[in-house]
Structure 1
Amino acid sequence: MTMFNTIAIITNNSTSEIIYTLQTVIDYLREREKEVILDEFSTGLVPDINLPQGNAEYFGRNCDLAIAIGGDGTMLRAAHLLADYNVPLLGINRGRLGFLADIPANAVVRRLDEILRGNFIEDERFQLHCEIESKGKTLLESHAFNDVIIQKGNVAKLIELETFVNGNFLHRQRSDGMIISSPTGSTAYALAGGGPILHPALNALVLVPICPHTLSNRPVVIDGNNVVEVIIGTPQIDRAYLTCDGEIVCELVTGDKVNIQKKDKKIRLIHPADHDHFKILRDKLSWG
């Protein structure tokens, strides 16, 4: 049986519901003599509780489980903190949809009982790694759990993008941008852009154009081991931005190249033993 003894708690919202759940989880874990480490934001929500505080490196060295309390945005933040570490991640849903944070707040104690007894399933998800090149030099690198997005700025002008897969030309398009999504991210912005829902176990990437000028320019699913290259080609570009999981990474200019591929480390999600991905889709998307 897998034992979780040193547990990190991560959140990024200060609603009364999250504070209540945070307090409940802390009390539950301390009663069971678990060592609890809080992230900086959580520490600020419960200032009267004397618990150690940690950062990503500390969690990675010392924790054998991390619990994120919030919505999928909190899960993404937790995934970014744990991106380079092999720490399993469990989500308690206090947000809206909750594709990733799948333990409802009204079942926290029961579900934690099951999981701490070893009654759970583990779900490995791959991440994305991106590298920005300008004039042959690497400017910066970043990573994402859901998606890497190249999109226009606030001015109502299309941008021109050239896309290559493993060095092979795919297409040139004028659009508001491009979403390069992992299977995990296929239920996020990519879905809103008309992309398909990919099962999280698939080794695949989906490329979704954002409002393309050519209506025949549709989403494309490719092998997950491929390398995607997107070149900013608009001469009169106003502004374009690169975002990873909704966070702006940098501004892009004409000639910049963004390389996207799988990251060499995965995120380990912990689910209740009766986790059913298709039931989550039915519930969250109101399917019959």
Structure 2
Amino acid sequence: MEQFKRIGITGRQGRSHIVDTLKRLVTFLESRNVDIVVDESLSDILPSPQTKTFSRSTMGQNSDLVIVIGGDGSLLGAGRELSAYDVPVLGVNRGRLGFLTDVSPDELEPRIGEILDGQYSMESRFLLEARVERDGQLIGQGDALNDVVLHPGVSTKIIEFELFIDDQYVYCQRSDGLIIATPTGSTAYALSGGGPIMHPKIDAMVLVPMHPHMLTSRPLVVSGDSELKLVINEGNEIHPRISFDGQVDIKLAPDDTITISKKAKKLKLVHPMTHNFYEACRSKLRWYQQN
């Protein structure tokens, strides 16, 4: 097991409820003689002005582990950026659901202590990358840990687009859009759209139509190594959008092409030894339990 001697800390900016957790975490790590670096965006709420602060990218390059304090959205944002530096990431949940941030604030010290002692598991989660081209020119790109979503933006009109998988024509669809989710994202927006839950170890993507015009349109699971291509039909009356984890957005135009594939760099997620995917589903999704 890797030893974490320098730990970076980041979290959601402007969220006052992370202050107590941040102070507890810094105090505990200092008691364990760990070298601490904190995201400079959190500098105004640090318990000590002597604590070192860096940009998130510098922190990713120089840390053995980065702890994210916040909800799943905070970890999604940090994970997309930190995956480039091959640094493991651990989430402390200060949000609602907490599928990715699985250390509870109530168990902060014992769980972090166990991880520092080498009692943890680590897994890799793949991300998606998308490129948007217009008239053969790249106009935008983005990464997603959960999902890439084609949607109409503020309009209520249907989008018409064509889907190709590995250069093979699949269909022309009229709908409110399409969710392309990783196994990580299968318990997020894709789930609310009727998509299946996929175990994180599965190497696959799921495509979930959003309110399709044809009731026979159903979620489709494809290989994680597939290359997807969406072509916005010229006849569309609206300019739809493509979003990445619901946090980054690109405005599209008729005849734009979006190419989506697996990103080469993966995100390393650290979990306490108590972590269990099925238990997380059971508790977060409120599955009924029998004695």
TM range (shorter): over 0.9
Quick one: distance in 2 between partners of 1:50 and 1:92?
A: 23
CA spacing shift, 1:34–1:146, aligned 2, 3 Å: same
Quick one: distance in 2 between partners of 1:153 and 1:71?
A: 24
The 5 Å alignment of 1:1-288 reads 1-46=1-46, 48-288=48-288
1:31 deviation in Å? 1.4
Kindly provide the amino acid, as one letter, of the partner of residue 85 in structure 1.
Y
**1:232-287 deviations in Å (ceiling 9; x for gaps):** 11523322111101123310001101110000000000001121100000000000
Quick one: distance in 2 between partners of 1:259 and 1:202?
A: 22
Quick one: distance in 1 between partners of 2:7 and 2:104?
A: 19
89-98 or 135-144: bigger deviation = 135-144
Quick one: distance in 1 between partners of 2:86 and 2:248?
A: 26
Kindly provide the amino acid, as one letter, of the partner of residue 24 in structure 1.
R
- TM-score (norm: length of structure 1): 0.96
Kindly provide the amino acid, as one letter, of the partner of residue 89 in structure 1.
V
Task: Determine helix, strand or coil for the equivalent of 1:207.
Answer: strand
- Report the number of matched residues: 288
Quick one: distance in 2 between partners of 1:234 and 1:155?
A: 17
CA spacing shift, 1:159–1:118, aligned 2, 3 Å: same
Task: Determine helix, strand or coil for the equivalent of 2:130.
Answer: strand
1:83 deviation in Å? 2.4
Quick one: distance in 2 between partners of 1:41 and 1:47?
A: 14
**1:13-36 deviations in Å (ceiling 9; x for gaps):** 444431100000001111111111
**1:47-73 deviations in Å (ceiling 9; x for gaps):** 753222222331232101000011101
Quick one: distance in 2 between partners of 1:214 and 1:54?
A: 51
Quick one: distance in 1 between partners of 2:165 and 2:23?
A: 48
Please list every run of 5 or more consecutive structure 1 residues that lacks an aligned counterpart in the other structure: none
- TM-score (norm: length of structure 2): 0.96
Please list every run of 5 or more consecutive structure 2 residues that lacks an aligned counterpart in the other structure: none
Task: Determine helix, strand or coil for the equivalent of 1:44.
Answer: helix
Kindly provide the amino acid, as one letter, of the partner of residue 131 in structure 1.
R
Quick one: distance in 2 between partners of 1:98 and 1:252?
A: 32
**1:141-190 deviations in Å (ceiling 9; x for gaps):** 21111111111021211010110000001111111111111000001110
Give the percent of matched residue pairs that are identical in Structure 1 and Structure 2: 39
Kindly provide the amino acid, as one letter, of the partner of residue 161 in structure 1.
F
136-145 or 22-31: bigger deviation = 136-145
1:137 deviation in Å? 1.9
Root mean square deviation, CA, Å? 1.3
Quick one: distance in 2 between partners of 1:273 and 1:240?
A: 43
Preserved CA contact (<8 Å) 2:150 2:177: yes
